[in-house]
Amino acid sequence: MGKPGWLKAEPVGLPADPDAAMHETTTAYHLEPTGTDYGIAARFEARRLPGDRAWAAKSYRVAFERPGWSIRIDTRLEVRSTPDAYEVSWAVAAAEEGREVHKSERKTTVKRNSG
């Protein structure tokens, strides 16, 4: 720890879909006065599905580390589009020192306007 670039070896949320077009980025920052490392790794995936459908996902891992303490927050947003609706799901999980301290998942369907 202690210098920018430490986050690059960390995974980004769930494993990537091998059939999806994908883009990944990482950013890291070290705040010297507090000894805190901040980092974010992000991945965007998209692919066409059979039957005029599509899928996209955006996954983030945000990491905060101070001497003797760390937390990771994983966020994932998925959208499936069909001719009739968007199916949206999202999840947030937090782990302190590798121990899960929070997890929530939700989903909704947004039907297309028939007018």
Q: Give the span between the Cα atoms of 85 and 81, in whole angstroms.
A: 6
Give, for all 115 residues of the chain, the pLDDT tens digit. Answer: 444 445 445 667 667 788 888 888 888 888 888 888 888 889 999 999 999 899 999 999 988 888 888 899 999 999 999 999 999 999 999 999 889 999 999 999 999 885 5
**Region of residue 52 (left: phi > 0; alpha: psi -120 to 50; beta: else):** left
pTM > 0.75: yes
Integer distance in angstroms from the first to the last C-alpha of the chain? 56
Q: Give the span between the Cα atoms of 110 and 115, in whole angstroms.
A: 15
